[in-house]
């Protein structure tokens, strides 16, 4: 959901707390991604302590202080509530408006104050993050005298935070849902204050996945389960009280619920979950999910052959390496299937082919203007012409071809497209209105895994630069290579969160990921291979003709 769709209701006027209390914080440094999975976040890195109202403050000063107090969620935003009249109603958790930090207050007369700001993103009541079209938003406040002091009697629900302060007040959590085979966990990113994080994560997990993802994943938690509201955590063990209806669930469903709860609560400092009904334990066992990681080594085509680069040598893939080097046309792009028994290849003649480890090469798509293909965990190869973003085809290993409905509508061009390693989502670099956007959609499949359609897009980021490459860095993050006015740069973009950019070496043209967001590889037009180390790029190889990409393990 895009923020502009939220503005008319809770998010549009979601203002109440934010940043002015933190004027000493840096306002120009890039927003960095959240902690790695598995890191506890119940205790904030530091606590922001906003000021209480000052005696004799003017209406504008009261509103300014109220906005500043939005950076302090302690006690249910206790300090911010000091700026309200006793009868005022205000819900700080309704939404977050994230702005650039420049705010203009004006006197609206008759005890009114208006705040104008430029919003860049927002978080809704479910913790879902979305970017916004840049534009001015107006927030109206009404004030009245209370015991001789001005206090706010009417305020928009929600809080306002500067983009840098947001990263210190709200933290990233991952709700975990299953893919359609119940074998792989799929993250759905949400953002909450660290206070009462376990309860917020549990409640939103029970409510289900984000609308854009809902048709592509499964949850074991029945619709009739009521969010518990309170989740005590003692020594890392969370007690989740569920309703009596779950007693009749079979053991497979209980185990899946246990798995979803424990993996979702990991970032809230929870190591174990005890499900209970009326205080009595409900037994469930955490399941082992199918891994989606890839081989950490670079996969490349060189004059020496095709395979994994290892200490200056090339380790081939049985059968597949010989099949690729034996092609009659030159490969320009290669993506290897999860089981490493086939590859989707774009050739220099423009055609896309399937190259199996054993068997003949088969044509997949010969339409003009093809971009690099992507192969999903089921072995389907996805193709689309650059200038026809809605004309997506998916081709099965046995040659069955499906036209995918609801492609990249609204885009004038698509420059890159890649399926996630779990097979539930697909990301793309698209062009529209002179800008490049990073979009992601859920993949909707039939019961046998056949792809049928894409869901609605989630816009992750936009840039004035030209998108030249896209890859998945892990299950929750994509990496894009963008050529802008200042040269090339990589964008590290969570699927539902603020991204960060790092300048890249001049002349790079392709990108691939590994298993960590910090391990990004780039190939230069001269064949040089670069690996990111912090904000620097180290050349680790030369003579790379094609930097290939990998998908995770198969079904």
Same domain, 306 and 407: yes
Domain hosting residue 338, numbered range: 299-550
pLDDT at 290: 84
Tell me: pLDDT of 114 over 50: yes
pLDDT at 47: 63
DSSP count for the chain of H helices, then E strands = 7, 37
pLDDT at 75: 94
Same domain, 140 and 249: no
What number is the average pLDDT over the span 192-205? 96
**Domain end marker among 231, 254, 282:** 282
pLDDT bucket at 151, cuts 50 / 70 / 90: very high
What number is the average pLDDT over the span 171-189? 97
Same domain, 355 and 369: yes
How many whole angstroms separate alpha carbon 417 and alpha carbon 427?
6
Angle between helix axes 197-207 and 251-264 (nearest 10 degrees) is: 140
Quick check: is 154 in a domain?
yes
Structural contact between residues 294 and 550, judged by C-beta atoms closer than 8 angstroms: yes
Same domain, 31 and 49: yes
Tell me: pLDDT of 44 over 70: no
The pTM assigned to this predicted structure is 0.89
pLDDT at 452: 96
Quick check: is 289 in a domain?
no
**Domain end marker among 250, 282, 314:** 282
> How many domains, the chain?
3
pLDDT at 33: 34
Quick check: is 293 in a domain?
no
Structural contact between residues 280 and 244, judged by C-beta atoms closer than 8 angstroms: no
pLDDT, one tens digit per residue, over 451-475 is 999 999 999 999 999 999 999 999 9
Tell me: pLDDT of 209 over 80: yes
pLDDT bucket at 519, cuts 50 / 70 / 90: confident
Same domain, 237 and 201: yes
Same domain, 183 and 142: no
Same domain, 250 and 399: no
Same domain, 222 and 80: no
pLDDT bucket at 555, cuts 50 / 70 / 90: very low
Same domain, 315 and 451: yes
Quick check: is 37 in a domain?
yes
Helix (H, G, I), strand (E, B) or coil at 289: coil
Same domain, 37 and 24: yes
Same domain, 217 and 159: no
What number is the average pLDDT over the span 498-515? 95
**Domain end marker among 134, 155, 170:** 170
pLDDT, one tens digit per residue, over 45-83 is 456 789 999 999 999 999 999 999 999 999 999 999 999
Same domain, 160 and 196: no
Quick check: is 223 in a domain?
yes
Quick check: is 291 in a domain?
no
Tell me: pLDDT of 172 over 80: yes
pLDDT at 248: 94
pLDDT at 553: 67
Quick check: is 520 in a domain?
yes
CATH number at residue 469: 2.120.10.30
Structural contact between residues 130 and 1, judged by C-beta atoms closer than 8 angstroms: yes
Q: Which string of b and e fits 99-121 if b means at least 16 CB within 10 Å?
A: bebebebeebeebebbbebebbb
pLDDT, one tens digit per residue, over 371-398 is 999 999 999 999 999 999 999 999 999 9
Tell me: pLDDT of 1 over 60: no
Whole-number mean pLDDT of the chain?
91
pLDDT at 4: 33
Quick check: is 114 in a domain?
yes
């Amino acid at each position: 959901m895009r923020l502009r769709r939220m503005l008319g209701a809770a998010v549009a006027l979601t203002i109440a707390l934010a940043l002015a209390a933190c004027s000493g914080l840096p306002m120009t440094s890039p927003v960095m991604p959240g902690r790695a999975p598995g890191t506890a976040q119940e205790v904030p890195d530091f606590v922001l302590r906003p000021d209480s109202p000052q005696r004799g403050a003017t209406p504008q000063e009261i509103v300014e202080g109220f906005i500043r107090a939005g950076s302090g969620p302690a006690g249910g935003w206790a300090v911010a509530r000091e700026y309200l009249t006793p009868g005022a109603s205000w819900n700080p958790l309704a939404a977050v408006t994230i702005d650039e930090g420049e705010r203009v207050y004006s006197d609206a007369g008759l005890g009114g104050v208006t705040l104008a700001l430029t919003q860049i993103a927002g978080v809704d009541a479910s913790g879902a993050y979305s970017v916004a079209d840049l534009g001015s938003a107006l927030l109206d406040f009404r004030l009245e005298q209370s015991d001789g002091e001005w206090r706010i009697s009417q305020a928009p629900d929600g809080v306002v935070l500067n983009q840098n302060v947001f990263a210190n007040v709200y933290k990233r959590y991952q709700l975990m849902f299953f893919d359609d085979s119940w074998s792989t966990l799929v993250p759905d990113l949400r953002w909450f204050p660290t206070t009462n994080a376990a309860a917020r994560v549990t409640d939103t997990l029970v409510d289900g996945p984000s609308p854009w993802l809902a048709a592509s994943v499964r949850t074991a938690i029945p619709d009739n389960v009521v969010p518990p509201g309170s989740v005590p955590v003692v020594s890392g063990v969370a007690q989740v009280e569920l309703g009596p209806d779950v007693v009749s669930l079979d053991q497979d469903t209980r185990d899946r619920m246990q798995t979803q709860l424990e993996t979702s609560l990991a970032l809230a400092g929870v190591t174990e979950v005890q499900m209970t009904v009326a205080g009595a334990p409900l037994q469930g066992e955490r399941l082992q999910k199918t891994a989606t990681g890839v081989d950490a080594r670079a996969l490349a085509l060189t004059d020496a052959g095709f395979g994994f680069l290892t200490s200056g040598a090339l380790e081939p893939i049985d059968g597949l390496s010989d099949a690729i080097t034996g092609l009659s046309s030159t490969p320009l792009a290669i993506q290897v299937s999860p089981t490493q028994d086939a590859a989707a290849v774009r050739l220099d003649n423009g055609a896309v082919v399937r190259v199996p480890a054993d068997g003949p090469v088969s044509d997949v798509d010969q339409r003009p203007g093809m971009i690099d293909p992507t192969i999903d965990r089921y072995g389907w190869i996805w193709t689309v012409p650059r200038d026809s973003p809605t004309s997506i085809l998916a081709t099965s290993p046995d040659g069955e071809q499906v036209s995918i409905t609801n492609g990249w509508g609204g885009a004038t061009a698509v420059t890159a497209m890649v399926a996630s390693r779990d097979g539930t989502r697909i990301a793309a670099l698209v062009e529209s209105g002179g800008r490049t956007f990073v979009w992601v959609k859920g993949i909707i499949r039939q019961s046998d895994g056949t792809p049928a359609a894409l869901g609605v897009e989630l816009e992750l980021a936009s840039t004035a630069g030209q998108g030249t490459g896209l890859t998945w860095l892990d299950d929750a993050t994509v990496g894009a290579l963008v050529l802008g006015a200042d040269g090339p740069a990589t964008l590290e973009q969570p699927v539902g969160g603020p991204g960060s950019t790092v300048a890249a070496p001049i002349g790079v043209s392709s990108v691939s990921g590994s298993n960590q967001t910090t391990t990004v590889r780039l190939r230069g037009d001269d064949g040089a291979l670069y690996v990111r180390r912090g904000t620097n790029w180290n050349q680790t190889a030369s003579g790379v003709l094609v930097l290939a990409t990998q998908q995770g393990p198969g079904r």
